[in-house]
């Protein structure tokens, strides 16, 4: 299910993983994206029981030092370390595996039968296809037709 590759994000993941492992954290995702005129390096973390501000800081400080030491990114950027959150986006194969059976929101790029957003139980994800059950119906969506898949949280 992996979305388009980002070499900088992959490189940073390799630098961040040992730090996260030492802190008992999981790296949910790493993104390197341009927002307006600024480049943002987002390291999204998770752990059993939830992530605190202290966890973000504990990850951010040594990672910032490591990034300064290795200097793998040519342009200037802002480092953000944050929690995956309750409505985390699923973008990697293992995300879909660990979230199977949970309620998700699938937002499509273009409407399907006039509907653009589906909420249902994640049944499976394989071969670039996401399978959900919603209101007694089963749906399958190709990743190429999906804007995002997120965990659904009822408030």
Nearest-angstrom CA–CA distance, 79 and 37: 15
β-strand 115-126 against 103-112: which pairing, if any?
antiparallel
Q: What is residue 60's three-state secondary structure?
A: helix
Note the pLDDT tens digit of each residue in 41-74: 999 999 999 999 999 999 999 999 999 999 999 9
Angle at 30 between CA 27 and CA 34, to 5 degrees: 160
The CATH code of the domain that includes 145 is 2.30.30.100
Rounded to two decimals, the pTM is 0.85
Same domain, 23 and 51: yes
Same domain, 22 and 76: yes
Q: Which domain holds residue 63?
A: 7-83
Contacts of 121 (CB under 8 A, 6+ apart): 101, 102, 103, 104, 132, 133, 134
């Amino acid at each position: 299910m992996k979305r388009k590759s980002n070499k900088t994000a992959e490189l940073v993941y390799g630098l961040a993983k040992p730090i996260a492992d030492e802190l008992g954290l999981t790296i949910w995702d790493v993104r390197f994206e341009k927002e307006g005129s600024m480049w943002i390096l987002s390291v999204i973390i998770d752990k059993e029981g939830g992530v605190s501000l202290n966890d973000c800081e504990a990850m951010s400080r040594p990672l910032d030092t490591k990034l300064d030491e290795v200097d793998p990114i040519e342009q200037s950027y802002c480092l953000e370390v944050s929690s995956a959150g309750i409505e985390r986006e699923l973008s990697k194969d293992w995300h879909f595996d660990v979230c199977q059976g949970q309620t998700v929101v699938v937002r499509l790029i273009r409407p399907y039968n006039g509907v653009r957003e589906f909420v249902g139980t994640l049944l499976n994800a394989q071969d670039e296809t996401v399978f959900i059950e919603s209101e007694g119906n089963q749906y399958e969506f190709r990743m190429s037709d999906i804007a995002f898949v997120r965990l659904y949280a009822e408030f």
